[in-house]
């Protein structure tokens, strides 16, 4: 079994002042990583003044255990914020190896009642925030010729969740960001993956019972994230599910479909005639990129 140590690795974790981000930070630091703990503080819905106390507390915890950590209090939701978060790693530790985009908020409401402000704020933090931090990290990862990047999705994004159109949209958007980034960064030995977690945290406390919360230790998610951040892990472009001790993989797949043209005119009626075969997912498969799928379509 490989030695899953992170000595001389520098990790940035956004939203690491609590919940999952804190668990990722503590586990990486315990295995030798130098960690930038980013958190602007604030409430689960992103409101409130924020402050330094959440990030500082995690930094203190890491240092008390003999690890190395530095705090950053910027919000991920601006270019300046993203740059400053990455700069904290470069200024403090001289390089960057690992980026975990984890910061997030919830503003749940049914679509009928959701305001555009509630929609936009969730997109700002999850989508734009992931972009700013990842974009600021890219030149440093390229220079490093090594990297591990994690985006944080959700079952709400992969499968939908009632009352979460804003959050579901955002959580699928980061999957798209990962899918393009993994292609662009592969030549720099940089792997990019998505985690879809389930863990007891203040975000879930609003929708789960105390009993459910007990079985969902954030460390169970952190173990998968830390594995994906290891130099021994060759996974690139995956969507990994982790929660309650269960670990799994999700994938975007398509079937070969039916080229209706070869069976007569392309028409609504012809599609209707072939709809069972068009929707049969028995032999559905993943593709390495959009080009791979286009080639398949041309062959069919
Ligand atoms: P949490 O609320 O405990 O942690 C989120 C952290 O992000 C907080 O410490 C908060 O202060 C910080 N944050 C919020 N806005 C920020 C900003 N603009 N800049 C910097 N930091 C900011 O929630 P939890 O559950 O630990 O969530 C972590 C991530 O995992 C989120 O992206 C969430 O959407 C995702 N997730 C969590 C699930 C769960 O079961 N807990 C399920 C699916 C996804």
Select which of 73, 93, 167, 220 is catalytic: 167
If you write DSSP's letter for every residue of 126-144 in order, what string do you get? IIIHHHHHHHHHHHHHHHH
- Cα of 5 vs centre of ligand 1, distance in Å, is 25
pLDDT in tens, the chain (300 residues): 679 999 999 999 999 999 999 999 999 999 999 999 999 998 888 887 678 999 999 999 999 999 999 999 999 999 999 999 999 999 999 999 999 999 999 999 999 999 999 999 999 999 999 999 999 999 999 999 999 999 999 999 999 999 999 999 999 999 999 999 999 999 999 999 999 999 998 767 666 777 777 789 999 999 999 999 999 999 999 999 999 999 999 999 999 998 877 667 888 998 999 999 999 999 999 999 999 887 777 776
CA of 48 to the centre of ligand 1 (A): 15
93 classed as catalytic: no
By most ligand atoms within 8 Å of CB, the mutation choice from 81, 201, 220 for ligand 1 is: 201
* 8 Å CB contact between 174 and 153: yes
Tally the C-alpha atoms within 13 A of residue 34's C-alpha that lie toward its C-beta. 14
Cβ atoms within 10 Å of 258's Cβ, excluding its own: 19
**In angstroms, how far is the first alpha carbon of the chain from the final one?**
44
Coil, strand or helix: which one is 290? helix
Number of DSSP helices (H) and strands (E) in the chain, helices first = 11, 8
DSSP-based three-state secondary structure for 285 = strand
Q: Whose CA is nearest to atom 40 of ligand 1?
A: 198
82 touches ligand 1 (CB under 6 Å): no
Burial class (CB in 10 A: 0-12, 13-18, 19+), 38: buried
Phi, psi angle pair for 215, to nearest 5°:
-80, -10
pLDDT at 263: 65
What separation in Å is there between the alpha carbon of 103 and the centre of ligand 1? 4
DSSP 8-state secondary structure symbol assigned to residue 124? I
List of residues 6+ apart from 297 with CB closer than 8 A: 257
């Amino acid at each position: 079994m490989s030695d899953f140590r992170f000595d001389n690795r520098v990790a940035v974790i956004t939203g690491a002042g609590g919940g999952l981000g804190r668990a990722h930070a503590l586990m990486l630091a315990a295995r030798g990583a130098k960690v930038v703990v980013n958190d602007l503080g604030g409430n689960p819905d992103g409101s409130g003044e924020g402050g330094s106390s959440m990030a500082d507390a995690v930094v203190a915890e890491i240092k008390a255990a003999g690890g190395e950590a530095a705090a950053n209090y910027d919000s991920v939701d601006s270019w300046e914020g993203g740059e400053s978060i990455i700069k904290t790693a470069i200024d403090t530790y001289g390089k960057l190896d690992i980026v975990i985009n984890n910061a997030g908020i919830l503003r749940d409401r049914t679509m009928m009642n959701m305001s555009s402000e509630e929609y936009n704020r969730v997109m700002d933090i999850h989508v734009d925030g992931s972009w700013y931090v990842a974009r600021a990290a890219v030149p440093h990862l390229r220079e490093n010729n090594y990297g591990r990047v994690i985006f944080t999705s959700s079952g709400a994004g992969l499968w939908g969740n009632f009352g979460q159109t804003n959050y579901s949209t955002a959580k699928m958007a980061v999957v798209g960001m990962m899918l393009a980034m993994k292609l662009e960064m592969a030549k720099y030995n940089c792997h990019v993956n998505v985690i879809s977690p389930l863990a007891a945290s203040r975000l879930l406390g609003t929708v789960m019972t105390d009993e459910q919360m007990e079985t969902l230790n954030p460390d169970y998610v952190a173990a998968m994230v830390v594995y994906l951040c290891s130099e021994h892990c060759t996974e690139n472009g995956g969507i990994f599910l982790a929660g309650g001790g269960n670990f799994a993989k999700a994938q975007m797949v398509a079937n070969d479909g039916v080229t209706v043209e070869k069976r007569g005119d392309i028409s609504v009626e012809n599609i209707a005639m072939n709809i069972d075969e068009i929707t049969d997912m028995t032999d559905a498969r993943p593709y390495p990129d959009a080009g791979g799928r286009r080639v398949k379509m041309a062959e069919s």
